Amino acid sequence: MSEKEQIVQGSYPPWSRIPSVEEMAAEVGIDGAEFLHSLGSGLDLEQLAEKFDVSPKTIEHLYDHFMHYGVGSIMGGD
């Protein structure tokens, strides 16, 4: 493991303030639980944007956040 990897790995506490997907969804008027459920429904990002009446860019941002941080980005997921 390189020195940089050693510094980065474990440098954030599990309770860090990376916002949860649910918090981020609520900020734009989307129910977080419904958004997460809808991710598994087979709808594409354009269809999700239409369903939640937000821009595709907003859905893409929420989706990317979830894919990057995973289950840990769900409130109570730690």
Choose between 35 and 73: higher pLDDT.
35
What pTM does this model have? 0.70
For residues 58 and 24, give the distance between their C-alpha atoms in angstroms, rounded to a whole number: 10
How many structural domains comprise the chain?
A: 1
| Domain membership flag for residue 6 | no
Q: What is the pLDDT of residues 23-64, one digit of tens each?
A: 999 999 999 999 999 988 989 999 999 999 999 999 999 999
Q: Considering the domain boundaries, does residue 32 fall inside one?
A: yes
Distance CA 25, CA 6 (A): 33
User: For residue 67, what are the domain limits?
Assistant: 19-73
Q: Please report whether residue 1 resides in a domain.
A: no
